[in-house]
Amino acid sequence: MPLSRKEIKELLIEWNQAWDRHDLDGVMQLFHPDVLFENWTGARIRGSDNLKKAWAPWFENHGGFRFTEEDTFIDEVEQKVLYRWQLDWPCWEKEFQGAHEIRRGVDVLHFKDGKIIQKLTYSKTTIEVDGQRMALSAAPMGDQQIAG
C-alpha cells in the first residue's frame, strides 16, 4: 500500500533525526532490504546489509557530520522524494583535513513497500572549506563498490 504524503514526510523527519544522532541502525530502518544506493561518484551498493557495512566506518570515524534539509519535494503518486541538503562536517581534502566543510547536494529517493528502494545521491562539484570555495576532488566512499 502506498504511503501518503504525510506518512512520507513523517518518515523523513524520523530519518533525519537518526542522521543527526549518528544512529546508523536508525538510518537503516527506512531502507528496503533490496535498496540500491548510488553516491555522487557513481559507486553503487546493493542491499541494506551491504549498505550498512559500507557506511559503518563512516559513522564510526566521522561523527561530526550534520545534514540540514534545504528543500523537500514529495510525489505521493509516484512514491518519490527529491531531498536537497547541506552537509556540514570535517573536511577530507588532504590540504584541509579536519577543517569545517560545507557540501550541498540532492538525494532522489524512490519508495517501495514503505521503504527507500533507491537512494541516488548527487553533489555539487564545489565545496566550501573554512569559507573558501574549492573544487571537489575525492569521495570518502568513492572506492566502495559493494554489490549484492
pLDDT of residue 63: 66
Contact 48, 28 (CB under 8 A): yes
Instruction: Let me know how many helices (H) and strands (E) the chain has, helices first.
Output: 3, 8
Which class for 8: exposed (0-12), middle (13-18), buried (19 or more C-beta within 10 A)?
Answer: buried
| DSSP state for residue 144 in the 8-state scheme | -
Its CATH architecture, for the domain 5-135, is Roll (3.10)
pTM for the full model? 0.86
pLDDT of residue 79: 98
Angle at 139 between CA 83 and CA 72, to 5 degrees: 5
What is the tens place of the pLDDT at every residue in 114-139? 999 999 999 988 889 988 898 876 54
Q: Which residues contact 101 (CB under 8 A, 6 or more apart)?
A: 87, 88, 89, 90, 91, 92, 93, 127, 128, 129
Domain boundaries, the chain: 5-135
The pLDDT score that the predictor gives to residue 143 is 42
pLDDT of the residue at 64: 82
The candidate with the shortest Cα–Cα distance to 94, out of 126, 124, 136, 132, is 136
Separation between Cα atoms, residue 141 and residue 137, nearest integer Å: 12
Of all residues in the chain, the percent with pLDDT exceeding 90 is: 66
| pLDDT greater than 60 at residue 113 | yes
Residue 14's alpha-carbon distances to 35, 94, 131, 145, in angstroms, are 18, 34, 31, 28
pLDDT tens track for 41-86: 889 999 999 999 999 988 887 668 899 999 999 999 999 999 999 9
